[in-house]
Structure formats: C-alpha cells, structure tokens
Amino acid sequence: MLITSEDIEKIIITIQNHSPYDFSGYSIKSFTRRIEKATFDFKLSIDEIIKKIKTDEIFTEKLAKGITVNTTELFRDPKVWHTLRYRVLNKFSENRRINIWHAGSSTGQEVYSMLILLNEMGLLEKANVFASDINTDVLEVAKKGVYNYRFNMEYFDNFNKVIRENPFNYDDYLDVPYSKYFNIEKEKDTISIKDFLKRKVVWLKHDLVNQSNIFDTKFDLILCRNVLIYFNNELQEKVIETFYNSLFRKGVLIIGIHESIIGLMANKFNKSGFVYTKKE
C-alpha cells in the first residue's frame, strides 16, 4: 500500500487531537514505516485507521504502542559497558549517591545490565535507578524481568565480555556465576532476573516528547540509547535539553553508539565518543 505524506500528516494531527500523544517530531521515514506496519497488523486502511483514532481510545493506545520501537538486550554493545565501567561509573564511586535515569528503557534489559554492573563494582547500594518508557506494555515486561532463554544466547556472550573478562588483561578472568543474577530455566525457556535487582528500580510511564523531568531529582547519569534516531532534529534538540536540565554538574549522558548530538545543545557538553559530559 502506498502511504502519502498527506496520509501521514492527517494521522499525526488526528492523534494529536484525540490522544495525549504527539508524533509530529518523529522522523517521517520511520513513522511512515510504523504506520505501514500498523495497516498490516490491524488489517485496516489509512482512512479506517484515522476514523478509529477519532472514536476508539483503546485502539489509539495500541497504535501508539506499536509506533514506538522496542529493541534492547542485556549488555547490548559490550564496549559501551566497558566505557561505563572504566570511564564513567568509576568516577562516581566516591559519591554519596548515584542517580541514574534510563530514558526509553523498553523491556528493561539495559536497566538490569546496569544494576549487575553496579553490583560488581560495589556501587549498587548507592544507586537510585529510575527507568521510563512511553509504552506501558513494555514497562510491565520490564518489571517482571523474565526473558526468553533460547533466542537470547548473546546475552551470555555479552555478560562474559562485560562482567567476567577484563578488556585490559585477558588473563584476568572472574568466574561470576550466572545464577548470581538470573534464574535460568531451560525447560521453560526463561531467564528471570533475581528479586534483589528488580526491587532497586522505579519504573514510570514518561513521554519524552511532551514531558520534562518528572522524577523530582537530578541525575549523575542518563542513558538514552537508540531513541533519538526516531526523532527529527528539532525534537532531538528539545529532548537533549530536557536531559541537560536534568543532569547534575558534570553529569553524564550516554546515547547510542551511532547517534550524535547536533545543533546548539552540542556546545553544552564535552563529547568523548558516545559519552557526553555536562559542561559547568
């Protein structure tokens, strides 16, 4: 089905008028692909989708959830976690508290990766961990902390690289058992996160598009990986400004390894790879 830019504009405006969601700052290309997918998933034409947005609140909620992309894994991109371990979190070790916000936390794997790393570094007690997503379905999955075992073998490869191996010295191998953090039940095909980690997180619904910091605190570290790629430049700038205002002095923002901050906000951070440190 061919979707025109007029169709897309109509859908965005209709959603704005009939729901709390605003997709006008999303990158048009990816938004169009998500709508295209929705026409298949719901078996509806564009006109039918528009009609339903006006009358069916539950449908609109489902549609909005389908528009956001949810991809995450435990210790995704081990080099990011090496950087966090040896260049970022180590600097916070003398802090009385370490406040962390995972923005766009999806199904929670990144959050639990962080908790595991903090625990290995002896920093878990000091950490206050907040996680947010626009999609309440993925937040529910995140809270449960139960993931498929079979299709996620790379979780363990990543775990080994980040937790067991020392990237600076390959002879140095720490045999941290998986059972320290997970209950693995192969016959049920599940990996479950242990309770002592799950208890540490505050999960909240939050929409980066139209909400600023709702947490009543500032942060030492904000992670927002592979979320900005779905936004246009203006919305990216606005969201980065929210993060900037939410960081303590010298606080750190981590974005995806193939994302970069462009425009005026770039001057407000010192950049080193994907690590952005708030200037004083």
Partner 1 sequence: MDYKYIIIGGSAGSFQTVTNILSALPQNYKIPIFLCLHRLKHIRAGFVEALSIKSNIKVVEPDDKEFIRQGKAYLAPANYHMYFELGNFIALSTEPVVNHSRPAIDISFASAAYAFKSKLVGIILSGANKDGAYGLSQVKENGGLTIVQDPKECQVKTMTEAAINATDVDYVYSSEKIIEFLIKINKNI
Give the C-alpha distances (Å, rounded to integers) separating 21 from 64, 103, 118, 214, 234.
7, 17, 34, 17, 17
Residues in binding contact with partner 1, number by CB under 8 A: 22
Taking the complex as a whole, the smallest distance from the CB of residue 229 to partner 1 amounts, in Å, to 4
The residue within the footprint of partner 1, chosen from 27, 128, 190, 277 (CB under 8 A), is 27
Taking the complex as a whole, the smallest distance from the CB of residue 258 to partner 1 amounts, in Å, to 5
The residue within the footprint of partner 1, chosen from 230, 243, 244, 269 (CB under 8 A), is 230
Query: Cα(127)–Cα(200) distance, rounded to whole angstroms?
Result: 8
Position 157 contacts partner 1 (CB under 8 A): yes
Q: Which of 218, 215, 228 has the alpha carbon at shortest distance from 254? A: 228
Position 107 contacts partner 1 (CB under 8 A): no
The residue within the footprint of partner 1, chosen from 262, 270, 271, 273 (CB under 8 A), is 262
- Segment near partner 1 (CB under 8 A); pick from 29-37, 51-59, 139-147, 192-200: 29-37
The residue within the footprint of partner 1, chosen from 38, 88, 118, 228 (CB under 8 A), is 228
The residue within the footprint of partner 1, chosen from 256, 268, 275, 277 (CB under 8 A), is 256
79 vs 180, beta carbon nearer partner 1: 79
- Segment near partner 1 (CB under 8 A); pick from 53-61, 136-144, 183-191, 254-262: 254-262
- Please, which of residues 46-75 interact with partner 1 by CB under 8 A? 69, 71
**Residue 135 has which token pair?**
């999609």
Query: Cα(242)–Cα(64) distance, rounded to whole angstroms?
Result: 22
Binding mask 198-227 for partner 1 (x = CB under 8 A): ----------------------------x-
123 vs 259, beta carbon nearer partner 1: 259
Query: Cα(273)–Cα(9) distance, rounded to whole angstroms?
Result: 36
Taking the complex as a whole, the smallest distance from the CB of residue 76 to partner 1 amounts, in Å, to 8
Contact between 260 and 136 (Cβ < 8 Å): no
Classify 69 as helix, strand or coil.
Answer: coil
Taking the complex as a whole, the smallest distance from the CB of residue 271 to partner 1 amounts, in Å, to 12
Which residues does 112 contact at the CB level (< 8 Å), separation at least 6?
74, 145, 181, 193, 197
Position 229 contacts partner 1 (CB under 8 A): yes
Contact between 73 and 30 (Cβ < 8 Å): no
Position 117 contacts partner 1 (CB under 8 A): no
Query: Cα(262)–Cα(99) distance, rounded to whole angstroms?
Result: 26
- DSSP string for 149-216: SGGGTHHHHHHIIIIIB-TT-TT-B----GGGTEEEETTTTEEEE-HHHHTTEEEEE--TTT----SS
**Residues in touch with partner 1 (CB under 8 A):** 27, 29-30, 33, 69, 71, 76-77, 79, 154, 157, 226, 228-230, 233, 256-260, 262
